[in-house]
Structure 1
Amino acid sequence: MASKGKASVKIEEDMRIFIHRQIDLFLQDEHQTEFDFPTNLTNQHRAYIHDYVKNKRLKSKSHGKGDGRYLSIYKTSIAAVTHEDAILSLTPQSSKLLLEVQKGYNSDGSRDVGAKKHNAYRPHSTYLASVSPTVPPPLRGLANVLEERKRLPIAQFHDIILKCAHQNQVLIISGNTGSGKTTQVPQFIMEAAAQKNNPCKIICTQPRRISVVTVAERVCVERNEPLGETVGYQIRLESRVKRTTNLVFCTNGILLRCLMGKCVSKFLKNITHIIIDEVHERDQYSDFLLIALKDNLSSHPHVKVILMSATIESNTFSNYFNSCPVIEIPGRLFPIQSFYLEDVLFNIDTYNSSVKDVKRKILINMEQQYGRTHNSVTANMDDETILLMNDILEVCWIENSPEGFYSFFALVEEEISSIDFQHTETKMTALMIAAAKGYTEIVQKLLNMGANAFMKEKHNYTAYDWACFVHGNSACSELLQSALKQSEPPFSRSLTANSAKLLLDAYHTSVGDEKIDHNLIVDVISYICRSQPDGGILVFLPGYEDIQEQFELLMNRVSSSNLVKVFMLHSKMQTIDQHSVFKPVPQGVRKIILATNIAETSITMDDVVYVVDSGKVKQKYYDSLTSTSSLAATWISQACATQRAGRAGRTKPGKCFRLYSRTRLGALDQFTLPEIMRVPLNEICLHAALITKDVSIHDFLNKAIQAPSATSIKQSIRYLQKVGALDDEENVTDLGHILAELPVDARLGKMLLYGILLKCYESVLLIVSILSINDIFVIPSFQGDKEKAKKVRRELGEESFSDCFCFLRAYQRWIDTRPTAKQRELCNRMFLSHSKLTMVHDLRNKLHAHLCSIGVVKRYGPGGVEDINEFSNNWSIVKGCLLVGLYPNVCYLEKYSKTMKTRFEKKIFIHPSSVVGEKTMKRMKDKDSTLWLPSEWITFEEKYKSGRGSMIRCNTVVSPLSIAIFAGPLHLDESECLIECEHTDAMKCKIAIDDWINLTVESKLAKAVLHTRRLMNELFLKFIENPRTHQLSARDYAIVKCLAELLLQEDHALELTNRLESTVGANRRGCKSQDFRWKSEGFKHNMPPYGVRKQ
């Protein structure tokens, strides 16, 4: 589809590849700040570069004149965006209460964020191997299962795998999809141990939780044993293992936790084998695990490590482990024929007029050089014979009788002419004429004699096209369609390198490759449906927007929609929609699946025979300098291209239509960029600090196969120091130890700890669970439902100006609806994901159980569930906990410019799905349509690039007082952060929360605000010294209660929803009654509940 606004510049593919490669290399070099392109670029090339670098945080400038003109690009420096001074204006009630707090509660001043050596809380579970390994029991598998195992390709490598594993400490097994390595290798080891009466303890990791469970279940089926005995699994907050379990499947993160802390030697002492599966996926945990394992192998020589990969990247891992041996296992794929963009453009009718013109010239040139296409006899015919054949075909066309074809048959049988002779002017063949006339017997005879049904006349119509145009669905068209499906397509027509370049240049200078060419995909699908044997079509697209656009275009352009069944497959779609793709379609109906990379490896559809690969994937990248994520459609790697093609050869020979050229394939990265090099490293750096002994975090991570950038490491360390998880010397603090133990992201863990301390535990627990699972809403399948989905969110959000509030209300509606069938109806009506809400519910229960098991939450009494939920319906204090966890993700609405800014963005936008943006548009106060919010401050979960701008999502509007108390580091030096205002009212001063957030406030209140903030932080530091035994004193409780009152008053003044439903989380389905029995009636205050506004 045409892009809106100014058209993007189009250039040839080879120049585009060259330019992108130079810019990528420039960006990767942290020391290079400027790069000059050569002088041989054209004006069009320079225009393309100017346009392209705008999305890369680069500047560009052209220099010189004429033949000496060249272009330079520069890296822009990152500096904090300035903004007008924010005002901290307080209600009279809040001002009075703050001064009372300052007067009534002194700070003890005895705690500092750097305090760390308390040793009261250092749990790191090593339950996976808490006892010595045992001898596994003998195999009890069923005979038919054993036979099935023997047929797997890996079975013939049984002996060599065991031998290599015995002789080497590290072994790599590279096996294609379907080889059986995941289920069989650990069983080989167990069965050998049982035969030799040797004890063994095997840990086998998988990158995804679902793989851990399914593989463990499959192995138990093959061994004919119950799950949790000899074979078990452990994932986050869920375990099916015993102390005597011989084979444990777990996630990479679980094993990583066992390697942290002081018990690593004890853990490895009881392990005989560690298997890291799917290591080629290069997720951040697997790369981190390899560093930790490599560091520990020399001191634990009895531990055998087996890395299993599905690609040829095995050499990279072999080199990392001192050239350890590699065993290659073949897969069970059928032959796959691959076609590239130049093949598609030449052999399939496309909508592109530029390509058609070039194609016509190429065909004329081929005819001039080699004779008429597809007619080997014609080249040897004299002019008189050619004229005779032209006359015979003309008679066949003019006369309404099949008898005219008999002369044609006679000449063909005497080998005077080819069966595919084309009329000199019209390019019609005898088969085309017979089809147009509807002569079924003649068509059948011509096909029996070998006539080519793929040939086209000068208007690019085949015999099948003529039959359909003249007679519709007739016996002739059915015969020809059957012939097309049983024969090979005309992709045998080969292009010279020059012809291919002409076609590709015509295509790329008219279409480009920045966006998906949905029309070309429809052309390919139509070709397959018209001319290929039965089989499903799997189309790989980058994201949901492309899937939806492709679906609508396909429905508009496919004439016989009842002959195709189109499915959309995306991770955010309803589970019921995803499951339907696996069901068979009726005979004669073509299945078409529009999918993202979720279909690359995670799932398999046996009826797929054809793959259409757009070559693009949406991938998340993180800019550590600006803390900005970007989700952009980028080129896949060569390894991914191989995986995608392999989807077509699961059950029979398949075909893959790659909508990128052979040149582009050669320019693709061999493998996907490792996750450790493109995601935030906060969690990894915290784990590194726990594991490292005598080296810095930076030096430890530099041991990775591909080390992350020094800038990314430095920024993550600064973040951890800012939130209090690390001290200035990179030592792990009390807070850092607790956050590392919690099975959630560090920022969510901190949020949860504040929820416990501030007695709003259940509400924060639910928000943490929801943010861990990701968006609980689904994307509507149809365009018309989008506005309905927005309305649902608006209604749930009330006047909260908060997406998290909306999520909580959605969860409440779902959990209050019974039975499950009605819950599903509710989800369908409100565009909610029933499966994700179920996951949220399960995670909430498991997190609660985990916090109880480590003693942070008690079941009864002080610190018990009822006690720590006293303020769970106070939405204002819940937002304070959100802000603590999400900081520094803060956005400011500047009043004079009416633009939203962050630390590094002069202008940022609210994501369209956010209720904050929806409410903003609904509550415009001025007629000039300027942006308006009840407070200037927003905290958000994520910031990401979208085109040339940035957006924030999962947003919550917070009061200036919340910013003053909860944002920033744990410790603020009053002498440094309290700044007198110059050239303004002497009665005011500034509070510098950090190097960007400044709040102007009355001088008499500034110290009271800082005093309250200091009291809050002291309570938290006291709490994390030992959360198991901590109890609020009467004084501490009074401080928390005053803080809750303050925040409630400020939100009320801003007309923000400040109360949650009083039944949030209480007595819900699936929650044990002994866990939740409090009456969440809040506390006495002089504010009306939410929904009641000032008059």
Structure 2
Amino acid sequence: MKYANRNDIVAALDTSRTLVLVGAAGCGKSTRAPAFILDAYLSGAKILVSEPRRVAAIGLASRVAAELGEDVGETVGFQVRLHAKPPRPPGGSILYCTSGVLLRRLQLNPGLEGCSHVFIDEAHERDVNTDITLLLLKRALQLNPELKVIIMSATLDTTVFTGYFQNCAVLEVPGRTYPVTVTHLEDLPDVFENINVSEMLENCRQEGSKPQINYQEVVEVIKAVDTNQPEGAILVFLPGWSEIKNVKNLLDVEFGDRNTHVILPVHSRLSTTDQAKMFSRPLPGVRKIVLSTNIAETSITIPDAVYVIDTGAHKENRIIERTGVASLETVWVSQAAAKQRTGRAGRLQPGHCYRLYTKDKEKEFIPYTTAEILRIPLEQIVLDCKSYAPDDKVEDFLSQLPEPPSEKAIVFAVNDLVDLGALSMPEQKLTVLGRLLSSFTLPPRLGCALLYSAAIGNVVSMSNIVSQLSSNVEVFENSAERREEIRDIKRKYSEISDHIALNRLQEEYEDIKQNEGWKAIDKLCMKYGIRKERLKFISDLSRLHLEQLLKSGVVESDPNVEELNRFSSINELNKATLLAACNSLLITRRTLKTKGKMAIVKSVFTSIKVLRESMQAAVTPFVVFGLFCKSVLCSGARRRCQGNTG
């Protein structure tokens, strides 16, 4: 983004209080646009910039501060959960924050009094927090006549935003990319001799077919590009870690004994060391091959990528309407996402994108990514909206979103919260339990588990468990490559439960830190391949949830700590506490004898009430799970549950 764009942005905001700023990834809108506003309005600028990821908020604040010749915490600062360096008044300021932090500010200060400009970055991703934020900002514009809103998007789909904010200005900033040649699947045999992509072609020719990743054929395309094209990194988009691992194993067989190739897997839980490898250039004559999920579409940039191989697939949360449970499925990307992936090949020089799907199949892709709120369970959102607008009916509040969810999904969520005891009917008011849960930064069921623990006497252990579950933080290094090893480590702490094992590990960390110090912590982390900073993060998060429990008034302000943790070491009570609160996240396994054969029958229960009605006299074993996963491979469908406990 050039300085000439500064005057365009300022002029647009002089005539309109809302602006949609469109610019391709890497054009500089996240760093330059807020700085332009600061430069134009000086001491009158109190700017908030919302980012969907904490790493982006921290990194962008550091970069903008450096460009201004300052340290973070002077004119430019950041605020994310558990970590903040706010700018120091007086004078103009820029605060980069996560979307969750901005939502909390809007809850406490609906008009955002004292703020002059709000930037919503990466709005094209359409995550839940962004959509709820847009609704609350629309209300804030009515309450605060001095407020101005800038929505930044990397795609040209501005109709949702311009339709939502009437009389909204639109400004397009050109990107800095080179031309990219695109080759589709059906044309690959004409480009590369003796290449076999027959199974992927057959799947694409079936109308309505879902993505099927043929690992051997993907590797064939990688080898063809490597053999026939000049130097340059190859970026391969795959749906998830399972596909990355299988392709990497085949590439290791092909190139493992040579020093001519560097094969790097990229996913959301990548360690800092591996990130450095991803961004660094290899030695001359060495080909870098990056196997990535959709995280490389916009969140990170492989600077030396010249060739992109796109399977056209990614994993997406979907709601199973029959049960209301979240399901992680492999689906085709949108046309906008495909375009984003293609552009990754033209960052530094002209590039080439090989799409492993046909032109006809691409026509079946949806134009833009479906808003997250249309495809996930809504319990947390319904609870939050009663905090933002306690007197509004849930359906009335959600109908004001840019794209409202279906009536069926809303009814399902409301009934679930009523069954949980958090919402009353028919007036849809928060109950005492609902008000308590809304004061926690936890999903409703995990918040219930923490509340129950105060009565049961296992507060610290449950706080550790819900912190691990809610944050989805992986404490082990290179976890995706060490699954069996990590399972063995967890079994040393608990034979029957991941949750209990991680809690015991966290307790060991706290005990060693208090009695032996950080050197002993380093030895523990080295022994098991654990990230020390992740254990500290869980510790800080657990402490935050304990503080929220104290402020809720459920326990006295000066409690008997020993009494609150009297039963924290009893594993069965810890599991029972989680089971009592989990509500719809239940599967039962029963062994039945049918026609002389033993069969395992599995059932998913959507509420404790339905579970009670179905239970027989015999004891029923349970599995609590956090996410229902479904992936489609060449061998067929495969389902699994993540986050099990006995």
Q: Does the alignment pair 1:601 with 2:448?
A: no
Tell me: CA distance 1:826–1:593, structure 2 relative to 1, closer, same or farther (3 Å): farther
Query: What secondary structure is seen at the aligned counterpart in 1 of 2:268?
Result: coil
Quote how far apart the aligned CAs of 1:571 are. 2.4
Please say if residues 575 and 835 of structure 1, whose CA atoms lie closer than 8 Å, have aligned partners that are also in contact. Answer: no
Q: Does the alignment pair 1:956 with 2:640?
A: no
Taking the aligned partners of 1:239 and 1:868, their CA distance within structure 2 comes to 30
Quote how far apart the aligned CAs of 1:811 are. 2.9
**AA in 2 matched with 1:889:** L
What do residues 730-788 of structure 1 show as CA deviations (whole Å, max 9, x unaligned)? Answer: 11223222322222222222222222333322111111111123254566666xx6544
Taking the aligned partners of 1:533 and 1:748, their CA distance within structure 2 comes to 53
Tell me: CA distance 1:216–1:738, structure 2 relative to 1, closer, same or farther (3 Å): farther
Counterpart of 2:614 in structure 1 is none
What do residues 978-999 of structure 1 show as CA deviations (whole Å, max 9, x unaligned)? Answer: xxxxxxxxxxxxxxxxxxxxxx
Quote how far apart the aligned CAs of 1:568 are. 1.2
Query: What secondary structure is seen at the aligned counterpart in 2 of 1:239?
Result: strand
Quote how far apart the aligned CAs of 1:852 are. 5.7
Q: Does the alignment pair 1:661 with 2:358?
A: yes
| Residue 241 of structure 1, aligned match among 82, 86, 89 | 86
Counterpart of 2:98 in structure 1 is 251
Structural mapping, 1:901-920, within 5 Å: 901-903=602-604
Quote how far apart the aligned CAs of 1:814 are. 4.9
Query: What secondary structure is seen at the aligned counterpart in 2 of 1:352?
Result: coil
Please say if residues 537 and 612 of structure 1, whose CA atoms lie closer than 8 Å, have aligned partners that are also in contact. Answer: yes
Counterpart of 2:489 in structure 1 is 792
| Residue 58 of structure 2, aligned match among 213, 230, 236 | 213
Q: Which runs of 5+ in 2 are unaligned?
A: 594-598, 607-617, 632-636
Structural mapping, 1:577-976, within 5 Å: 577-692=274-389, 695-728=392-425, 729-774=427-472, 775-777=474-476, 787-798=484-495, 801-814=496-509, 816=512, 830=528, 832-834=530-532, 836-849=534-547, 862-897=558-593, 899-903=600-604, 936-946=620-630, 951-957=640-646
Taking the aligned partners of 1:651 and 1:516, their CA distance within structure 2 comes to 29
Tell me: CA distance 1:751–1:349, structure 2 relative to 1, closer, same or farther (3 Å): same
Taking the aligned partners of 1:667 and 1:310, their CA distance within structure 2 comes to 22
Taking the aligned partners of 2:275 and 2:113, their CA distance within structure 1 comes to 44
| Residue 537 of structure 1, aligned match among 234, 249, 260 | 234
Counterpart of 1:164 in structure 2 is 12
Larger strand proportion, structure 1 or 2?
A: 2
State the identity %.
34
Q: Which runs of 5+ in 1 are unaligned?
A: 1-152, 356-502, 906-933, 958-1095
Taking the aligned partners of 1:322 and 1:625, their CA distance within structure 2 comes to 37
Structural mapping, 1:1001-1040, within 5 Å: none
Tell me: CA distance 1:620–1:820, structure 2 relative to 1, closer, same or farther (3 Å): farther
Counterpart of 2:25 in structure 1 is 177
Taking the aligned partners of 1:507 and 1:309, their CA distance within structure 2 comes to 30
What do residues 918-947 of structure 1 show as CA deviations (whole Å, max 9, x unaligned)? Answer: xxxxxxxxxxxxxxxx95232513251536
Structure with max Cα Rg: 1
Query: What secondary structure is seen at the aligned counterpart in 2 of 1:622?
Result: strand
Aligned length: 616
Quote how far apart the aligned CAs of 1:805 are. 0.9
Tell me: CA distance 1:562–1:237, structure 2 relative to 1, closer, same or farther (3 Å): closer
Query: What secondary structure is seen at the aligned counterpart in 2 of 1:657?
Result: strand
Counterpart of 2:612 in structure 1 is none
**AA in 2 matched with 1:936:** T
Please say if residues 87 and 95 of structure 2, whose CA atoms lie closer than 8 Å, have aligned partners that are also in contact. Answer: no
Quote how far apart the aligned CAs of 1:592 are. 0.8
Q: Does the alignment pair 1:278 with 2:122?
A: yes
Taking the aligned partners of 2:523 and 2:355, their CA distance within structure 1 comes to 40
Query: What secondary structure is seen at the aligned counterpart in 2 of 1:173?
Result: strand
Counterpart of 2:107 in structure 1 is 260
| Residue 326 of structure 1, aligned match among 139, 153, 170 | 170
Tell me: CA distance 1:294–1:527, structure 2 relative to 1, closer, same or farther (3 Å): same
What do residues 614-634 of structure 1 show as CA deviations (whole Å, max 9, x unaligned)? Answer: 111111212243033222221
Please say if residues 204 and 361 of structure 2, whose CA atoms lie closer than 8 Å, have aligned partners that are also in contact. Answer: no
Quote how far apart the aligned CAs of 1:243 are. 7.8
**AA in 2 matched with 1:247:** I
Please say if residues 628 and 945 of structure 1, whose CA atoms lie closer than 8 Å, have aligned partners that are also in contact. Answer: no
Please say if residues 886 and 939 of structure 1, whose CA atoms lie closer than 8 Å, have aligned partners that are also in contact. Answer: no
Quote how far apart the aligned CAs of 1:828 are. 6.5
TM-score normalised by structure 1 residue count = 0.53
Query: What secondary structure is seen at the aligned counterpart in 2 of 1:713?
Result: helix
Tell me: CA distance 1:885–1:354, structure 2 relative to 1, closer, same or farther (3 Å): closer
Query: What secondary structure is seen at the aligned counterpart in 1 of 2:250?
Result: helix
Counterpart of 1:186 in structure 2 is 34
Please say if residues 19 and 170 of structure 2, whose CA atoms lie closer than 8 Å, have aligned partners that are also in contact. Answer: yes
Quote how far apart the aligned CAs of 1:158 are. 0.7
Counterpart of 1:224 in structure 2 is 69
Tell me: CA distance 1:819–1:663, structure 2 relative to 1, closer, same or farther (3 Å): farther
Counterpart of 1:549 in structure 2 is 246
TM-score normalised by structure 2 residue count = 0.87
Quote how far apart the aligned CAs of 1:792 are. 2.7
Query: What secondary structure is seen at the aligned counterpart in 2 of 1:264?
Result: coil
| Residue 204 of structure 1, aligned match among 40, 49, 70 | 49
**AA in 2 matched with 1:172:** V
Alpha carbon RMSD of aligned pairs, Å?
A: 3.0
**AA in 2 matched with 1:331:** G
**AA in 1 matched with 2:196:** N
Taking the aligned partners of 1:625 and 1:770, their CA distance within structure 2 comes to 28
Please say if residues 386 and 394 of structure 2, whose CA atoms lie closer than 8 Å, have aligned partners that are also in contact. Answer: yes
Tell me: CA distance 1:896–1:659, structure 2 relative to 1, closer, same or farther (3 Å): closer
Please say if residues 586 and 625 of structure 2, whose CA atoms lie closer than 8 Å, have aligned partners that are also in contact. Answer: no
Counterpart of 1:11 in structure 2 is none
Query: What secondary structure is seen at the aligned counterpart in 1 of 2:643?
Result: strand
Quote how far apart the aligned CAs of 1:589 are. 0.9
Please say if residues 22 and 156 of structure 2, whose CA atoms lie closer than 8 Å, have aligned partners that are also in contact. Answer: yes
Tell me: CA distance 1:669–1:318, structure 2 relative to 1, closer, same or farther (3 Å): same
Please say if residues 183 and 218 of structure 1, whose CA atoms lie closer than 8 Å, have aligned partners that are also in contact. Answer: yes
What do residues 985-1037 of structure 1 show as CA deviations (whole Å, max 9, x unaligned)? Answer: xxxxxxxxxxxxxxxxxxxxxxxxxxxxxxxxxxxxxxxxxxxxxxxxxxxxx
Taking the aligned partners of 2:283 and 2:233, their CA distance within structure 1 comes to 12
Counterpart of 2:596 in structure 1 is none
Counterpart of 2:145 in structure 1 is 301
Q: Which moved more, 1:290-299 or 1:241-250?
A: 241-250
Please say if residues 195 and 221 of structure 2, whose CA atoms lie closer than 8 Å, have aligned partners that are also in contact. Answer: no
Quote how far apart the aligned CAs of 1:353 are. 8.8
Quote how far apart the aligned CAs of 1:608 are. 1.5
Taking the aligned partners of 2:194 and 2:392, their CA distance within structure 1 comes to 60
**AA in 2 matched with 1:641:** A
Taking the aligned partners of 2:303 and 2:181, their CA distance within structure 1 comes to 17
Query: What secondary structure is seen at the aligned counterpart in 1 of 2:288?
Result: strand
Please say if residues 780 and 831 of structure 1, whose CA atoms lie closer than 8 Å, have aligned partners that are also in contact. Answer: no
Tell me: CA distance 1:721–1:353, structure 2 relative to 1, closer, same or farther (3 Å): closer
Counterpart of 1:6 in structure 2 is none
Counterpart of 2:215 in structure 1 is 518
Counterpart of 2:160 in structure 1 is 316
Quote how far apart the aligned CAs of 1:282 are. 0.2
Counterpart of 1:411 in structure 2 is none
